Amino acid sequence: MISLDLDADVVSLTAALVDIPSESRQEAAIADAVEAALRAYAHLDVVRDGHTVVARTSLGRDSRVVIAGHLDTVPANDNFPSRLDGDQLWGLGSCDMKGGVAVALRAAAQLPEPVRDVTYVFYEAEEIEASANGLGRLARERPELLAGDFAILMEPSNSVIEAGCQGVVRVDVIARGERAHVARSWMGSNAIHLLEPVLQRLVAAVRRTPVIDGLTYHEGLNAVAVSGGVASNVVPDEARVSLSYRFAPDRTEAEALEYLQELFSGFEVVVTDSSPAAAPGLDRPAAAAFVKAMGVEVNPKFGWTDVAQFTTIGVPAVNFGPGDPLLAHKQDERVPVDQLRLTEQRLFRWLRGEEGGRDE
């Protein structure tokens, strides 16, 4: 079994995590290593659920915070293993989000008596379809393990706070025609040609920029794939455009789907995946207190994160972790060493109740 040293500095621990292959659905080795490392600490109660590991303090504090990070990565792209070059740690998952996982693991090990009880969650399958997500499984099947007054998702945010997140609805818009021989195409109806108005409506659609809790969210609606065709001598009878709609947190999943159905009326719209948005929730006392304590910039989250999982069970949550989210999933993925240390410093101070988490 791979061994993790939670007494090592956060940079070395991040590198060690990056060096454990853990593409989605292949998290067994890293989950085993995380579980074994956490079980060495008597102040933690550790639970394993699939390839998701939960570690909890039980100190009888007045409040509980949940600190979570996913263990999986997207597929490698000639960016494995890790490489430390000056002030940057390079490698698959270094930014998204093994740097944040390293900070959380260090906190779990090094802070036996935080001022609030803490639940640490290290989970599987965040980078693939929502139905496989380990945190979502806990929210559905074992919500008591995620109970808390506030949650911090260690997603990359440049060591500042990113509030809320966009929701995601993925659909196929389908055109149906009639097959015919291409030499006698007038005897059929070309489904690929029938997609033209779909693309026209897509390009012309206005992308909203609603302001929520003082934060401006930018919606995204994009075609991500086009498919159709039978053979080189056959007029196709079916074609589809796959769309990804990243909607702002002032819309529900149902409202987002209704918008797409209206936009593409006259065509068949089939949902292939869906996840809710999460409102910033900065008016919630626990979230507002964390923002005040950190004393850092607060930005809207562009993209979907598992803060939405917490929102669905009534736990306010924010994104706060090392790394530039713009580098997530890129071949040149990397995380600044100073952000690893700064995020750890700020989180440790907050958990200890020292200076409210602010820098001196």
Buried b / exposed e along 240-249 (16+ C-beta atoms within 10 A): bbbbbbbbbb
Q: Both tokens of residue 223?
A: 């075609």
Q: Which residues are catalytic?
A: 72, 126
Q: Are 210 and 218 in contact (CB under 8 A)?
A: no
Residue 170: CA count within 13 A, CB half-sphere: 11
Residues with Cβ within 8 Å of 327's Cβ and at least 6 positions away in sequence, in order, are 95, 96, 156, 333, 334, 335
Based on the number of CB atoms within 10 Å of its own CB, is 316 exposed (0-12), middle (13-18) or buried (19 or more)?
buried
Q: Both tokens of residue 165?
A: 């997140």
Residues forming beta bridges with residue 221, ordered by sequence position: 245
Residues forming beta bridges with residue 278, ordered by sequence position: 165
Closest C-alpha among 71, 72, 213, 58 to residue 147: 58
Q: How many residues does the chain have?
A: 360
Residues with Cβ within 8 Å of 171's Cβ and at least 6 positions away in sequence, in order, are 242, 243, 245, 257, 260, 269, 270, 271, 272
Closest C-alpha among 288, 316, 318 to residue 301: 318
Q: Are 52 and 20 in contact (CB under 8 A)?
A: no
The DSSP result for 94-151, as a single string, is IIIIIHHHHHHHHHHHH-SS-SSEEEEEEES--SS-GGG-HHHHHHHH-GGGG--SEE
Q: What are phi and psi of 208, to 5 degrees?
A: -75, 155
Closest C-alpha among 234, 241, 243, 175 to residue 207: 243
Q: Distance between CA atoms of 39 and 33, rounded to whole angstroms?
A: 10
